[in-house]
Structure 1
């Protein structure tokens, strides 16, 4: 893995704003996700190419379309439950980012009942905001963090095995705020 002067992978962008929020971006996310979709869910990839045919190298447009589909529920085949909120998503996208969900959904059946197409509720584990951050990363390759949320986000990454996010983050998520 190539590293920059700060020891971070060159495919990672880290931006801190004046409010203390940090945006961590994985520039390899589309490549990783599209390779996974080719292997695991060719139908979703075909639908995506029909709606967003001009594939740029970074896949930004394709990621935007997928994220919009998540937000509107288009072609979603799974949901995460937190409290009284339900977050629709695509099994293949979630599985590409999370080894936990990849393993859990390995034997997922398309003809499963609606109850079988849900995970949760996760009320006691993580807040809806943390789950949204993990979904945002899964769909965009970007995650916005604050000093106040970094511990919960880090724990959720370990719990659900978001290994790429753990790999690209500094050795300690808290290192982000040291200047």
Structure 2
């Protein structure tokens, strides 16, 4: 390579390794942008550490005559985290026939379901709802637990509805779920 092949002024060459000199205003804008990004990252980490970005739960109750239904469920969750679903069904003076529990199938599809306790005696679907039928318990309370975690690919809002039907009463509880990324 001859000396004529080299640029005469390395500072103006496109292949230079000499850092570009920034104006004072450019340096201040860059510093401000870095501080802003660091501040946002700090806020995000603090929200995560405080539990705001984790699972939040609620208990919703409804009744119809002697039938009282209470559902402990997730309101906000994140993918792949365990979420609660505990349905407590109470009927004054006990149950006189099978108990039907209907849960939105699209809501159940949001979970990796590991099990249901107790297992339903019969299970079916009508395309919209998953229908479980339980024989009456010895007392006046039936509690149904789902061992679930959020499906990793689920995002945004999921509409959920649980309906409990006994011989003469019907109770419906709506329980939407927000899934944060």
Instruction: Indicate whether the TM-score tops 0.5.
Output: no
Q: TM-score, normalised by structure 2?
A: 0.28
Q: TM-score, normalised by structure 1?
A: 0.29
Larger strand proportion of the pair:
2
Larger helix proportion of the pair:
1
Larger Rg: 2
